[in-house]
Structure formats: structure tokens, C-alpha cells
Structure 1
Amino acid sequence: MSRRPLFVTLTAVAALMAPPLSQAQVTLKPDGQWRYLLTAGANVSSGNNDARSLNLSGEAARQTDDDKWIWNARADQARNAGVSTTDRYVLRTQYDRNISPDWFGFGSGETLRDQLANIDARYSVASGVGRHLWREERGYFDVSAGLGYTYDRYINSTDIAGAMRDRYGRLELVLAEESSHKLTETTSLRQKFTLLPDLRDSGKYRAVLDTGLTVAMTPTLNLSAGLSYRYDSDPGTGLEKTDAMFVTGVSLRFD
């Protein structure tokens, strides 16, 4: 068995077994044109169970032979018996610029609000270099490393890094791997794992794993399913270190 099919198989198995954010696959073509993908998912129940959830996301991407620019936005809300169980909003962007056929530089930014995780606002920026380990028409696999800075503002003061704080900023190491695979003519898999060790407080770190599976029903309509997993070794008083979310939805592609 060749290395690439084996890697694709292992990646697919890991994506289905690991607890990873629904991340549908926007079309990437090196023609300099912006392309968009909108995804929506909802669930409502009443009677003995009173629950509802709403998940919205949008993605925009532009790629040439020399660079790639991607924007992502997400809104996730859920309530059960009148109690909020999810209230998270994320906006992120990343720009990659090829330095050589194998190497690229990147810059990224993200803002997040997660009420149940006590995060009123989180702002993150990062920059570094990466390498294209595999790139062809059916997908790619990249690794990257750099430095970033994250600043958190909390809804309620909490114990972070050994002190009560209402805000906290730190320099972080940014280590990431990302891949996209066209498994069949209608099915695409995408995943990204990022590890963020805290350089201000040794031994503390965050980790983020996002994966998504997209199945094309028509040239513009897709079914998507994915998992999101986030880990924070020091989330604050009374909070869980891990957050996982499974999301399914329908995506509309604008190519």
C-alpha cells in the first residue's frame, strides 16, 4: 500500500473517532477568485424534552499559485429546558504566502466569545513559517510553527496562572498541522490540529482540533458533519479543561 492512501485512511479514521468543529470544505482553486460556503444546522424539540440548538458558519477563501487567504466565522447556540448549554462565537482568518515551492510564511488572527467558558473576549494573533509536505489537485498536507500572542478578558474574575484575574495575556508557541483530502468525487475531509504552549507560564498549554466531512449532493448543496475539540490546561476556577461539540448541517456553496 502506498503512503498516501494509508495516510488518508488513518486520517479519516482519526477524524471519525476523535472528538474534533464542523468545518465544511470551501472550494480551493489557484485562480485568484473568492469562493464562499455557508452552513446551517438546527434542532428543536418540545414536550417531554424542551431543547433547541442553532449552528451557523461561513467561510471565504481565495487562492493563487503564490498565496492563500481564508476567513471563517461561526455562531453556536443551544438551550435545554431554558438553560443555555452553548453560547460561542468565533471569527478567524489566516494568510499564507509561498516563500519557495515547499515553504510558506503565514499570519493569522482570531477573536472568540464563549460565555459558558467565562470568556468575554479572546484575541489571538500569530505568525510563522510552514512547509508543504504534500500538495496536489486532490488535497494537501501542511505543517507550521511560529509565535503568537493571546489576550483573554473574562466575564467573571477567575484563578488563572496562580492569581485571581479578570484578564490575561501571554506569548504562545504555535505548532500546527492541517490537511484536506478529496476522498471521492463527492466526499471531502478536512482537519487541523494546533498546539499552543504558554511561554509565560511553563507547563500550561491549549490545544484545538477541528475536523469536518462534506458530502456533495449537488454542485451547490452539501451535507456536512464534524466534531470540535478544545483543551485548556488552565481554564479557570470551576471549569472543565475540555470542550467537545458534534455538529451536522447543510452547506450552500458559492463558486
Structure 2
Amino acid sequence: MKASLLLIGLVASGQALAAEEKPFSMDGEFGFIATSGNTETTSMKGKLSAHQELEMWSNDYKFESLYKKDEVNDVSQTTAQKYFLSAQGNYKLTNPDHRVFGFASYEDDRFSSFDYQSTIAGGWSQKLWQDDSSKFDYSIGPGYSFAKRQDGTSENGVIVRGVVNYELKLSKTANFKQLISTEVGSDNTKSKSESSISAKISDGFSLKVSLVLDHNSDVADTKKNLDTQTAVTLVYTFF
């Protein structure tokens, strides 16, 4: 009798986990602000995040965009224009929580010190834990960066990339996420922190508040090292 109850419990747990694990999931995020009158502004923020969970691979894809236009005294000018995309593949070893990763990214920020910044990296990735309420993973390894400054100077070199990712379930409908990444090189150290809280408001839709910090250690004298972005966006879960 006890063995039967144990077997039923294991089967039920396995079915619950299978229901939670999605082979492919994707979220779309969008925020829009428009003002008119003495000052006219248009701000748009978009993001697509996808996760693919396979038997031997765990993959993540990301695309982000930011655009802002201001019009003062009938003069219209773009004041922010940024695009970022990345992909990371994690190959699972004998222990599926131990992985080898490959990463690639490209960023085009019109108003930064760089015309573009691109990175490829590989190394060790590990999921330290994942339970019903939280999960934590990290990755670290060597790579190579390709960058071109606004003055035309190219900066290519070896880097070390490190990432930590933490997620916490605050309630049945609310989640907290913290992502920190850094790419340490001889010419420049590029770091990013993204903190967010999202709350489900209906089937498929969530409201998200986020704070993004972008830091470059070596920038032009006319630029600031740190860029901050605070946003309230609507998130739709496609899958």
C-alpha cells in the first residue's frame, strides 16, 4: 500500500514538472509614452525574450530596442536609439545542472561612445538550484570583443565574461528577477544590471517595472560612464 502511494506520488510529481517545463517559451514586452503641447516626445521600448529547453541543450535568445524623439520649438530630434541582441546555448553534461555555454551578442547604441559593441564567449555554466520559489545560475568564461568607437577607432581584444541570474517567486502572480553581467577587457569593462518585478494582470499579460544600469569604464570625455533606464512595460507571453 505504501509502495503504491509512493508510486502515485512520484507519477503525479513527474506530471506536474512536465506541465511546468515548456520546450519553448517566448515573452514580448512593449512600452510607449507620447506627450504633446509645449514639448512633444515619443518614447518606445520593446523586447523579445525566448527560452528553449531540449534534452541536451538549454538556449536563450534576446532582442531589445529603445527609441526616443523630442520636439521642442518645432525642432524634432532623436535623443535615444539603441538595439541589442544576444543568444546563448548551454550544452548539458552528465549532470544536467553542469553545462558548457557559447554566447554571442551585438549592440548598436547611437548616442554612446561606441558605434557598436559585439562579443563572443564560451565557458562554464551551472544551475546552482531551482525549486518552487526561486532559481539561481551563473556562467563564466573567456571571450573576444569587437568594438568600434564613434571616432572610427576599433578596439578588439580578449575579455572574461561573467553572468549571474536570480529569480524569486514573490506570490502566485508576482516575480522578481535580477540579472548581472560583466565583460572585463584591457580597453574597456562593460557591465549591465537589470532588476525587475512583474505581476500577472490577466491570462498572458503581465505588468513589469524594471531598472537597467549600463556601464562602460572607458568612454569619451563628453559621455557618461553610466546609463540608467527605468521603465513600466506590458508583457505578453506568447508560449
Is the TM value for this pair above 0.5? yes
Q: Which residue of 2 aligns with 1:111?
A: 106
Structure 2 distance, partners of 1:190, 1:243, is: 20
Corresponding position: 1:156 with 2:151: yes
1:96-135 map, 5 Å: 96-99=90-93, 100-135=95-130
Q: Which residue of 2 aligns with 1:140?
A: 135
Q: Which residue of 2 aligns with 1:5?
A: none
Please give the secondary structure, in 2, of the residue aligned with 1:235.
coil
**Aligned-pair CA distance for 1:47:** 0.9
Please give the secondary structure, in 2, of the residue aligned with 1:156.
coil
What per-residue deviation string (whole Å, max 9, x for no partner) do you get for residues 13-62 of structure 1? xxxxxxxxxxxxxxx95342x22111111101111222120111111111
Corresponding position: 1:174 with 2:161: yes
**Aligned-pair CA distance for 1:180:** 1.6
Q: Which residue of 2 aligns with 1:87?
A: 81
Structure 1 distance, partners of 2:203, 2:48, is: 17
Structure 1 distance, partners of 2:41, 2:51, is: 34
Q: Which segment is superposed worse, 222-231 or 135-144?
A: 135-144
Q: Choose the corresponding residue for 1:190, options 177, 186, 189.
A: 177
Please give the secondary structure, in 2, of the residue aligned with 1:50.
strand
**Aligned-pair CA distance for 1:66:** 4.3
Q: Which segment is superposed worse, 148-157 or 180-189?
A: 148-157
What is the TM-score with the length of structure 1 in the denominator?
0.78
Number of aligned positions between the proteins: 216
Structure 1 runs, 4 residues or longer, greater than 4 Å off: none
**Aligned-pair CA distance for 1:168:** 1.1
Report the RMSD for the aligned CA atoms in angstroms.
1.9
Structure 2 distance, partners of 1:39, 1:115, is: 22
Please give the secondary structure, in 2, of the residue aligned with 1:116.
coil
Corresponding position: 1:67 with 2:61: no
Please give the secondary structure, in 2, of the residue aligned with 1:239.
coil
Q: Which residue of 2 aligns with 1:222?
A: 206
What per-residue deviation string (whole Å, max 9, x for no partner) do you get for residues 117-163 of structure 1? 04322221111102222212433101221011110123334xxxxxx
Structure 2 distance, partners of 1:241, 1:193, is: 17
Q: Which segment is superposed worse, 52-61 or 114-123?
A: 114-123
Q: Which residue of 2 aligns with 1:30?
A: 21
Q: Which residue of 1 aligns with 2:38?
A: 48
Please give the secondary structure, in 1, of the residue aligned with 2:202.
coil
Q: Percent of pairs identical after alignment? A: 17
Asked if the contact 1:30–1:65 (Cα under 8 Å) also holds between the matched residues in 2, the reply is: no
Q: Which residue of 2 aligns with 1:18?
A: none
Q: Which residue of 2 aligns with 1:12?
A: none
Structure 2 letter corresponding to 1:248: V
Structure 2 residue runs without a partner (length 5+)? 1-18
Compared CA separation, residues 97 and 138, structure 1 to 2 (3 A): farther
Structure 1 residue runs without a partner (length 5+)? 1-27, 158-164
Structure 2 letter corresponding to 1:222: S
Asked if the contact 1:31–1:64 (Cα under 8 Å) also holds between the matched residues in 2, the reply is: no
User: Over alpha carbons, which structure has the higher Rg?
Assistant: 2
Please give the secondary structure, in 2, of the residue aligned with 1:47.
coil
Structure 2 distance, partners of 1:66, 1:218, is: 33
Structure 2 distance, partners of 1:122, 1:114, is: 9
